[in-house]
Amino acid sequence: MTFLRDMLVAEAGLERTVATRIADRCVEAIDRRYFAQKTADAARPAEGADRLLLPERPFDPFAFGAVALLMTEGQHALATRLTQIKRVEDLHLLARSQRLAIEPSLTRPEDVRTAIIESADRRISARRRAAAG
């Protein structure tokens, strides 16, 4: 996704937010087309032909930066993005990978999402305090 976004910014001269939105849509369309087992958008195999199913794409904890998204687009945008992550293990992986301090014993997705948002907000506040001197 980062590759597509950067290419849209550099080549098409799009604003970073717009480029990110377009890149997200492209990745989602590719995922639906090639990685989903049964979706309406997926190509239908010919009658009687076996459809080649590729393995599910592994979760990418760096598909978006939680702190950057919170800073640029706000809490609602981050919450919406985190809602797309369904597995608690993936939410914990995102937090660990992006060095967001959350309680490892959290087991409900809603609680982990809230903890990620709070941790990202604390990081932004700490940066602002450090910058203020």
Which tens digit of pLDDT belongs to each residue from 57-98?
789 999 999 999 999 999 999 999 999 999 999 999 999 999
* One-letter-per-residue 3-state SS of 24-64: HHHHHHHHHHHCCCCCCCCCCCCCCCCCCCCCCCCCCCCCC
**Contact (Cβ atoms closer than 8 angstroms) between residue 130 and residue 110:** no
CB neighbourhood size of 32 (10 A): 13
Rounded mean pLDDT of 104-130? Answer: 96
Give 43's pLDDT tier (boundaries 50, 70, 90). low
Q: What is the pLDDT of residue 42?
A: 47
41 or 61: whose pLDDT is higher?
Answer: 61
Sequence-distant (6+) residues with CB within 8 A of 22 are 4, 5, 8, 14
The structure tokens listed for 83 are 């809602």
26 or 47: whose pLDDT is higher?
Answer: 26
Q: Mean pLDDT check: name the lowest of 13-22, 72-81, 115-124.
A: 13-22
